[in-house]
Chain A
Amino acid sequence: MKREIDFMSKSLFFIVVSLVVVTVSLVSIFVKGFNFGVEFTGGSEILLRFEGKRITESELRGILSGISEEFKTARIVRVSSMGDPADVLKYSVVVPKTYASEEKKSLQEKVESLTGGKLVSFNEITGTAAEEIRKGTWTAIVVSFIAMLFYIAIRFKFIYGVAAIIALVHDVVITLGFFSLFGYEINVAAVAALLTLIGYSINDTIVLCDRIRENAKRYRGKSMVSIVNASINEVLARTINSSLTTFMVVFVLLLFAGTVVKPFAFGMTVGVVVGTYSSLYVVSPIVARWGGR
């Protein structure tokens, strides 16, 4: 037998850590709020037209960022209409900000003189995702939590389900807190990251609970705390390897991926770490304390 690491004796300390991080997250969420992407808030779309001049997305982004801060994370997309001549390039630049009419004028002058293009139109746009995402996603998350609670209650024990849901809420709150603290944009991909993290967290929890269930049957004489501790040790290699491999993928993405993908990679990176942590230090203490025999 390998030497067992004693996870459970430090659980009180980690519960305090969790509570502190959750509190900080909640404070940040409510005080600082989120940096919502343009799909949620709406904003402005500027259409630029270049005749006989080749300019790439990143060149354009560079020039515009010099004019104003918000263009650093702007969405710059090439568009074209039917019947455009071959030497015409058109870009749609979208920022989560609206401008007053005087601002529009000065911006138009600056943009036209610096880029050498023509500002064709200034549109105000609504958030496309706002209606779509808000409509269903929260309901979906809550209903899926309830569904998972029931499944775990049937396959394991009710308290395991409760522990799993507490861990999920813990993970979602902390990840959202990180988004708020670091000012990462919440866009559609970030929502996808949040949903993925739920999957990861529940996976970790189930694997651990499965082992606890098995060991509780096998070692009838032992205390629940030592059973939980033994179970954590037995699945430890799996926990580390599984988390590490996923971490590799999302961390590389965080380092190298471009602007719009960054929030997704950020959410996943935080999520994998928090999800792994929560199965060890949120689920296990609850199961050890109230899991019974």
Chain B
Amino acid sequence: MAKFFAVTIIIIAILSAIPILRHTWDAPEDISTHGALIDEQMSETMAEAGIAFLAAQFVLAIFVWMFSNRGPDAKITKFPGGAKGLVIAAFLVVGIEVLALGVFGVKAWATVYLTPPAADAMPIQVQAGQFAFYFRYPGPDGKFGAIHPELVNEGSQNYFGLDPEHDPASRDDVVAAEMAIPINKEIHLLMHAKDVGHSFFVRELRVQQDFVPGVDVTLHFTATKVGKYEIVCTQLCGLGHYNMKAYLEVMSQQDFDDWMKKEVALQ
């Protein structure tokens, strides 16, 4: 029974590692300027955690194989070095690993969150509400009109609660159900929650950020590959949570300019 346990645990450990080694279910290709740092951090952590996982399971299996049901006359011995060596090893190996991951990880985090957006970054506001995203561009005047929650009316398509009658800045705002951005242009995303908590997740962009009702949070990123990608909500927001999604379309600058002209004409 002990040997069967040992073999089983080794087989499980190896089978568990195969999809990781074969990259069967890896995240899709990164399309952001900051994503490489996250991917690198992920790979390093996978290597360290993977070695720890396999080593622990293998040692457990070997010891169970060797030291189980040895009969009444078996001599009980002690692991050479006792607990002291193990504690020192844990502090040194895990401590160094922790420091390395912690210190290097700061760089990737800082790139996304601790650096301000470039002065010429393109502002886009995204509003999340049960169960749709809406996107707003400031229009030719470069200014967003103010949000008046009491004016929100989905029936008349005033998703943001704009007041074009009294607020000139809102008159040329472009509101869309899909997010179009130009390639290689930094985007400054202004995130506004209309009702409850939501989240903005684009796997390819290596971006995930919650919306905080009552507080507008911001995010900045640059997309590097033309294409159409799904934006999904990852914060449980109610019965339609599973169906809350939109598309991000990364375009060439020319295509984006054409798209914007068309949208402005539609407003």
Same assembly: no
Which of B's residues lie within 8 Å of A, judged by CB? none
Which of A's residues lie within 8 Å of B, judged by CB? none
